Structure 1
Amino acid sequence: MKKLERSLSLTSVIAISIGGMLGSGIFVLPGLAAAKTGSSLWLAYLLAAICILPAALSKSELATAMPSSGGTYVYIERAFGPFFGTIAGIGLWLSLLFKSAFALVGFGAYLSILVNIEPELTKYVAVLFLALILFLNIMGVKKVGKVQIFIVSISIVTLAMILLFGLPRTSPELLEPFFTNGKMGLFSTVAFVYISYAGVTKVAAIAGEIKNPGTNLPRAMILSLFIMTLIYVSVAFVLVGNIPLDALATDINPIYTISELLGGNVIGYIAAVVGIITLISMANSGVLAASRFPFAMAIDKLLPDFMGKIHPKYLTPVITIIMTCLLMAMVILFLDVEKIAKLASAFMVMMFILVNACVIVLRETSAQWYKPPYRSPLYPFVQLFGIFSGIALLIFLGVGPMMAIVGIFLLGLVIYYLFGKNATRTGILRKYGHRPALYLLYKKKRNTTISYRSNQEASLQNLDGELASDAGVVVPLLGNERSPEMLVEIGAAINRREKIQVVNVTEVPNQTFLDAMVEENPRIASLERRVSRLATSQELDVDFEAAVTHEISDTIHELSNQTHCDWLVMGWNGRAHSGILVSNPIGWLLTHINSDFALFKDDGVRYIGKVLLALRPGRRDKNFIAVADRICEFYNASLTLLHVVPDRTDWDTINEMEAHSKKLLQKVDTPSMVIVQKDNDPINAISKASASFDLLILGTPQKDNWISILFGTGKDKFTEKSACSVLRLTMRDR
């Protein structure tokens, strides 16, 4: 299959992003918005930019992790699954389509200043310009980018001249009243002009065609948003400071009005020309982004395959471009697009809410493939602000936009059941989410997908594509272990049987075919060699395999089931809480696997000579001591059993606890001792004690705050504060 060409530079991406915002938001809306709030219009634009900033930061992160065409649709589909992905893709496509059609019809107000055109003919002229946009998009995005740079440059120069001559003439008298409808009027205006900034994130839909997207994409979004905020706020201030509010409130071509006021008729006509080409630029940018949504959906088998075809010469999705432009032409000719565009913008707000939620879901689940080069700052507060501010904006938009959301939801639902109901992919939230988060999702189906390496496909001697069913311990290697050999050693120390199963698991995004990843890999070859050398030196019976999967938790779960193992041993970074809404794969496994579970946090300690077992009283001490004894025997190490009790604990209780622990230790052959320490801060006590040991063994802690319970963001504080390597054990009731 041919791939989209990465041909867009940073300058072109910024131009396309600005072109998506420079349009009706500044050439048409200011007058209508001023009627709602008065001279505080500039403040409404500023607050709207602040509200959309979280979505820009979140989409920058998501786009660098998934730099493919489709943008918001791709992120929502990967996080929430194909069901919501279908609805999002169709909704975003129609939303951008209607908004672009509205821009083409809207330029009629400026065109009528220059040419005497009958109102009923304006729509046909708009369709002619749409044909030009269609031609540019089919010829290739590089040409689109060059045209965009030219148009955006002219528009910015024109607006800069308005600011240069308009700011000195601003009248303080015209800036009163600041609020015409109170603060509620201001907030409703913020919701009204919010859509003016929506184009800042459009470029994420063409991430697959951007050079060096990990760097250029976030830079383009942030820079274009900053530039447009300055333009919107400054121009709005000049408009309300130079044009009486009564006149501005009914003006749908305010840029022409202010230009004529400042420079006369000729300057006004020049501004009208700039308005015409700028609105065309907005429509052009909209076609470029909108056509990528059905293209990405067709690639994911959620729409017919023919919609995923790429032109053999121009390398553009010609079918979806033509479909988008044809539907835009029908909207222009037969529908009242202004009202539809306003209602569709509400769905854009809803998408930005989901975009912020996507970042939370993907970060909290710690999906192995989710490694964005750019990460949004101040996580998760930025995302939470974006979610709650978006909800508030939807409320201020009123009942009509809410009905539009419902309508697009139903349309997406129908399309999903026509084309995507048999999709085998599952979203990250569906995989790791808990019952409250899954309430709106359809019933979960068991569909584990694993692709094993076989010796017909690789030369590695241990890769036969079969798992050892008699393995006592399974050690999944995910690629982020500090020392895979050390993790295998820990598994061998715990093991009560002879064989150990080691599986290198590679998780790839859902859009990647597993068969394409099942090929000889130098890193896997190196890993197999290292594990084999360890097995030989330690006289261990180790079977090594490699697997590629879309669902890492399901795969690991299936590994433990197929081998009927006693223990699952994994590397760990100290984070394993499972929240009410989402959990990471470790947290999911803790509640789903049937074997005992050991998490090893490697602190770089290579030789284990002293082991500290720290348990809260009553935590099945006998079972934990048995495991610690096996580890000490493997490493020829000593064992210290530590109990930390509150300061108020009486000495009789302490002596009884110490005697009971010594009785348990009599059954082990390892040199051992018992310490019972009074301290109201067990985390600090165990942290200090761990400095004298090589390995700290702990049980599974209890969740300790509502943030951890809700989002699963907490870390194991005992592990985080430890001064040595940590092994955390979760043992099932026998």
Structure 2
Amino acid sequence: MTKELERDLGLFAVIAISIGAMVGSGIFILPGLALKTAGPAVILAYLLAGVLVLPAALSKAEMATAMPEAGGTYIYIERGMGPLLGTIAGVGTWFSLSFKGALALVGGVPYLLYLFDLPVKPVAIGLAAVLIAVNLFGAKQTGRLQIGIVVVMLAAMVWFVVGGLPSTTASYYGGFFDKGSNGLLAASGLVFVSYAGVTKIASVAEEVEDPDRNIPLGILISLVFTTLLYVLIVVVMVGVTPPDLLSDSGVPMIHAAEATLAWPGVVAIIVAAVLALISTANAGILSSSRYPFAMARDDLAPESLTEIHENWGTPVRAITLTGGVMLVLIAFVPILEIAKLASAFQIIVFALVNGAVVAFREGNVGEYDPSFESPLYPWTQIAGILGGLLLIGYMGTLPLVGAVVITVGSGLWYFYYARDNVDREGAATDVVRRSVGKRAVERTKSTFEDVDGYEVLVAVTETTDEARERSLIRIAADIARENDGSVTIVRFDEVPDQAPLQQASQTQSPADVEFERRTSDLTAEFDVPVQYGEIVSHDTERAIVNFAEHEEADFLLLERADDPLYAPLLGSNIEWVSRHAPCDVLLIEERDLAGIDAITVVTDRGPFDPQKIAIADALASEAGARIDLLYPVERNATTAQRETVEDYLSELESLCSVPVKRSVVPTDDPTEDFVAVTDPADVLIIGTDGGRIHGNLFGRPADWIVDKVDCTAIQVQPNGSRPGLFRRLFERVVF
């Protein structure tokens, strides 16, 4: 029988845990540092930081009621945003908590040593080593002291506020906004980490009684209470202490207590600060070490980090790694920079928390059913994301660089180490994929609706025989007839540069006479307006492009030809025309058009080009055939991805005027497998994928498929309506 955690944490316990996770070394250390940046407006900085934390608190509360189970921020982000952003969130949270623990030690030790003349860093390193050892050997008993620590800290702080408010001096608040908005925002970013623990309760959501009510209510009450307490503490600190003394002090609350509470108050503040030091630093080691442990369990980090010591029962390697990072920070990084980096990483994590809610709501996540929903969605989440990123921009170069380095480094770690170890994706991926599919459907719909008669140009040369010419005109006629368009067939003759064009154009050969006869007969055969003509030039390719532009053609049909030997280096004539043509280009490889029952359309990785669907629909409508849509997905594709692709293909089917057969092809080698699945086809419509350089040097998969199949093939090279390069690459990656 599976054991479940008992839900025995009521509202008061939720509030106590959340307040205890927030109230700590930040309020003892950061006000003096923030005063240098914002002046007396540091009071508003604490208020603004609390307000900007609120969206993440609401988002975390929503996800906790949807998934009231044991876990941390990393779990929610990994599920909502996928393994990549889960990796970034896991590493970012790990660093944030490590920095917060280091901040508690570096900033809290001066309170401990206020009465002793000892160096701060060696003592901080010593205490860190002791706490690391405690966590290695097991720290079950320390959790029982947390409530007592919180009670003592809160009692000291309330005493500080009540005893200090009557002693404030108005002159100390002078020049409130002298540092301007830049100083206010920078200070808000600096103190942001003071609220980092507000969502801590979500990690024990599985033990909360009536989580639908107690989690969101407990988080909101604790955030409001802590924000008010912080603001009042800073009001007292600024109002009772000379600014120069406060901003240059490593123990700002002691100086404020000396001015208002005398010696007993100073002792109470020292005790509270020391307790905060122990609580925050120990919690930093304990909680941050669980992030590499959890990531390793999810195959995003080396498996060795999940190793549990046989005797101690703790994740030794994860704790040792975390402790090593904290020791380095304490030894070599100034306290102000530690605080900034801790806040910067926390801002990133909270931004991802807000993004995760959007992903869960918009994604195809059937099991996501929160009983509490964040109000004013999605504006609350957008405000949280933008507000946090705004703060980072004002915090200086180091936090910004640190955030970028951690983000990029985590991304590289995922792509080069973890990507092959996981086969899951987040709800956000499905959101983006469905958005891409929706835009692709809209482009296709516009292609169908915006047609006012296709003008189709067929370009042939004197080497084109009658059978191929007939096939080209039949295809062109079917495309044009469906939309009340017309066909123009032109034979382009090329003469040497030294030959006069006028004389060549006036000379009619037997081949010219035969071409006129054939096209005249074809005009009568196909029920569509057909014009024909001949053009003589020194440069056939340029003449074709110029004529297509002059005639405002919608499609240019060319006979597909094998590339010459020099094509890998210089390109081919057909390629030049395709790249410079002012319209969509269709390269025809004609094999047998006697009867058309099935027209297969293949995508070049990513959504179908609208022109392919439009051409297939026109040809199938004229021939009374069906369309087969083939879409490749990897064999390990998720169920959500397959469903999204199926929905996309269903939308395309609804746009077509003929029967459509949809096929999602699981494959690790689309090029090879497409040849097999196109056997029943009479016509294959495919692209010209591969890119110019890569295609010329290594070959294009589409060309290989066309060479292998037995049916007529039409390669479509879209023109202006196609998305740009980066957008196509993005669509291919996510769809």
Code of the aligned partner of 2:163: F
| CA 1:349–1:244: 2 relative to 1, 3 Å | same
Equivalent pair of 1:344/1:405 in contact (CA under 8 Å): no
Paired residues of 2:135 and 2:314 also in contact (CA < 8 A): no
Partner of 1:422: 421
Q: In structure 2, do the counterparts of structure 1 residues 180 and 350 end up closer, same or farther at CA, with 3 Å as the change threshold? A: same
Residue 593 in structure 1 maps to residue 594 in structure 2: no
Question: How far apart are residue 435 of structure 1 and its match?
Answer: 8.8
**When the two structures are superposed, what TM-score results if normalisation uses the length of structure 2?**
0.57
C-alpha distance in 2 between matches for 1:69 and 1:399: 37
C-alpha distance in 1, partners of 2:299/2:2? 17
Q: 1:337 to 1:118 in 2, by over 3 A?
A: closer
Q: Compared with structure 1, are the counterparts of its residues 188 and 341 closer, same or farther at alpha carbon in structure 2 (3 Å cutoff)?
A: closer
- The alpha carbon displacement at 1:161 in A equals 0.5
Kindly indicate whether residue 280 of structure 2 is the aligned counterpart of residue 282 of structure 1: yes
Distance in 2 between residues matched to 1:314 and 1:423, nearest whole Å:
30
Letter in 1 for 2:233: V
How far apart, CA to CA, are the structure 2 residues paired with 1:15 and 1:132? Answer: 27
Distance change >3 Å, CA 228–CA 8, structure 1 → 2: farther
- Choose which of 242, 245, 248 in structure 2 pairs with 1:247: 245
Aligned pair count?
459
Instruction: Please give the per-residue CA displacement for 1:576-630, whole angstroms capped at 9, x wherever unaligned.
Output: xxxxxxxxx6xx7542337968xxxxxxxxxxxxxxxxxxxxx99999xxxxxxx
Contact kept, 8 Å, 1:291 with 1:320, in 2: the verdict is: yes
How many Å apart are 1:340 and its aligned residue?
A: 3.7
CA contact (8 A) 2:20 2:150 kept: yes
Change (3 A) 1:118 1:390: closer
The aligned counterpart of 1:509 is none
Residue 95 of structure 1 corresponds to which residue in structure 2? Answer: 96
Contact 1:70-1:292 at 8 Å conserved across structures: no
Q: Deviation of residue 56 (structure 1)?
A: 0.5
CA contact (8 A) 2:106 2:121 kept: no
Q: Deviations over 1:301-331 (max 9, x none)?
A: 1123343456789986565345433443444
Tell me how far 1:149 sits from its aligned partner: 0.9
Match of 2:683 in 1: none
Specify the code of the residue in structure 1 equivalent to 2:149. I
Q: SS of the residue aligned with 1:367?
A: coil
- Aligned partner of 2:188 in structure 1 is 190
1:366-389 C-alpha deviation (Å, 9 max, x unpaired): 410112232212211211211221
Contact preservation (8 Å) 2:7, 2:206: no
Task: Sort the Cα spacing of 1:315 and 1:272 in 2 relative to 1 into closer, same or farther, 3 A.
Answer: same
Shift of 1:67: 3.8
Deviation, 1:95, is 1.6
Amino acid at match of 1:9: L
Q: CA 1:112 to 1:227, structure 2 compared with 1: closer, same or farther past 3 Å?
A: same
**d(CA) in 2 for partners of 1:226, 1:35:** 26
The Cα shift of 1:552 comes to 4.7
Asked whether the 8 Å contact 2:39–2:178 carries over to 1, the reply is: yes
SS in 2 for 1:303: coil
Partner amino acid, structure 2, of 1:94: F
The residue matched to 1:372 in structure 2 has which SS? Answer: coil
| Residues in 1 aligned to 2:73 and 2:258: alpha-carbon distance in whole angstroms | 41
Distance 1:146 1:225 in 2: 23
Indicate the residue corresponding to 1:298 in structure 2: 296
**C-alpha spacing 1:179/1:334, structure 2 compared with 1 (3 Å):** closer
Deviations for 1:322-371, whole angstroms, at most 9, x for unmatched residues? Answer: 54334434443455465244224212212211211111121112410112
Change (3 A) 1:16 1:331: farther
Distance 1:287 1:208, change over 3 A: farther
Q: Which residue of 2 aligns with 1:126?
A: 127
Q: Distance in 2 between matches of 1:144 and 1:21?
A: 17
Q: Highest Rg: 1 or 2?
A: 2
Q: 1:333 to 1:398 in 2, by over 3 A?
A: closer
Identity of aligned residues (%): 39
Which residue does the alignment assign to 2:86?
85
Name the SS for the 1:593 alignment partner.
helix
Relative distance call for 1:13 and 1:187 in structure 2 (3 A) is same
Tell me by how many angstroms 1:129 deviates.
4.5
Deviations 1:529-585 (A, max 9, x none): xxxxxxxxxxxxxxxxxxxx9955445x4xxxxxxxxxxxxxxxxxxxxxxxxxxx6
1:653-673 alpha-carbon deviations (Å, 9 max, x no partner): xxxxxxxxxxxxxxxxxxxxx
Residues 151 and 190 (structure 1), Cα distance of their counterparts in 2 relative to 1, 3 Å cut: same
Q: Deviations over 1:224-281 (max 9, x none)?
A: 2112111101111111111122222212212111112222234313311221111221
SS of the residue 1:360 aligns to: helix
* 1:182 partner amino acid: G
- Name whichever of 330-339 and 183-192 sits farther off: 330-339
Residues 72 and 205 in structure 1, CA contact (< 8 A), matched pair in contact too: yes
TM superposition shift of 1:204:
3.1
Match of 1:222 among 214, 220, 223: 220
Cα 1:316/1:69, change in 2 over 3 Å: farther
Kindly tell me: are residues 191 and 74 of structure 1, through their superposed partners in 2, closer, same or farther at Cα, counting changes over 3 Å? Answer: same
**SS of structure 2 residue aligned to 1:421:** helix
Post-superposition shift, 1:212? 5.7
Distance 2:109 2:231 in 1: 25
Q: List runs of 5+ in structure 1 lacking aligned partners.
A: 439-548, 558-584, 598-618, 624-734
Asked if the contact 2:309/2:315 (under 8 Å) is kept, the reply is yes
Local SS of the residue matching 1:418: helix
Per mean C-alpha deviation after superposition, the further-off stretch among 341-350 and 238-247 is 341-350
- Change in Cα spacing, 1:9 to 1:285, as seen in structure 2 (3 Å) is farther
- Greater share of helix residues, 1 or 2? 2
SS in 2 for 1:371: coil
Alignment of 1:655-666 (within 5 A): none
Provide the rounded CA distance (Å) in 2 between the counterparts of 1:273 and 1:174. Answer: 27
3-state DSSP of counterpart to 1:302? coil
Q: Which deviations, in whole Å up to 9, do the C-alpha atoms of 1:125-147 show, x marking residues without a partner?
A: 322552475268x343xx44421
Counterpart residue number, 2:730:
none
Tell me which amino acid in the other structure corresponds to 1:175.
Y
**How far 1:434 sits from its partner (Å)?**
4.0
Contact 1:344 1:404 in 2 (8 A): no
Contact 1:2 1:315 in 2 (8 A): no
How far the C-alpha of 1:7 sits from its partner, in A, is 7.8
Correspondence 1:551-630 to 2 at 5 A: 551-554=638-641, 557=643, 589-593=646-650
Taking the aligned partners of 2:214 and 2:307, their CA distance within structure 1 comes to 27
Name the structure 1 match of 2:401. 403
Q: Give the direction of change, closer, same or farther, for the CA distance of 1:222–1:133 in structure 2 (3 Å limit).
A: farther
| Residues 1:120 and 1:246: Cα distance change in structure 2 (over 3 Å) | closer
Q: What is the alpha-carbon distance in structure 1 between the residues aligned to residue 245 and residue 174 of structure 2?
A: 14
Equivalent-residue separation in structure 2 for 1:259 and 1:351 (angstroms): 35
Q: 1:156 aligns with which of 154, 157, 170?
A: 154
Deviation of the 1:12 alpha carbon:
4.9
Deviations 1:146-180, CA, capped at 9 Å, x for gaps: 21111111111001011111111222222212222
Instruction: Report the residue type matching 2:279 in the other structure.
Output: S
Superposed displacement of residue 107, structure 1: 1.3
Q: Is 1:383 matched with 2:381?
A: yes
- Is the Cα–Cα contact under 8 Å of residues 299 and 421 in structure 2 kept in the other structure? no
Identify the residue that residue 165 of structure 1 maps to in structure 2.
163
Q: Is the 8 A contact 1:76 1:84 kept in 2?
A: yes
> Pick from 163, 168, 176: which aligns with 2:174?
176
CA distance change for structure 1 residues 212 and 25 in 2, over 3 Å: closer, same or farther?
same
* Partners of 2:88 and 2:407 within 8 A in 1: yes
Residues 89, 293 of structure 1: 8 Å contact kept: yes
Distance in 2 of aligned mates of 1:120 and 1:216: 41
- Confirm whether residue 357 of structure 1 aligns to residue 361 of structure 2: no
What amino acid is the match of 1:253?
V
Change (3 A) 1:319 1:221: farther
Alpha-carbon RMSD across the aligned residues, in angstroms, is 3.4
Separation (CA, whole Å) in 1 of partners of 2:162 and 2:318: 42
CA–CA separation in structure 1 for the residues paired with 2:244 and 2:175? 12
2:113 alignment partner, SS class: helix
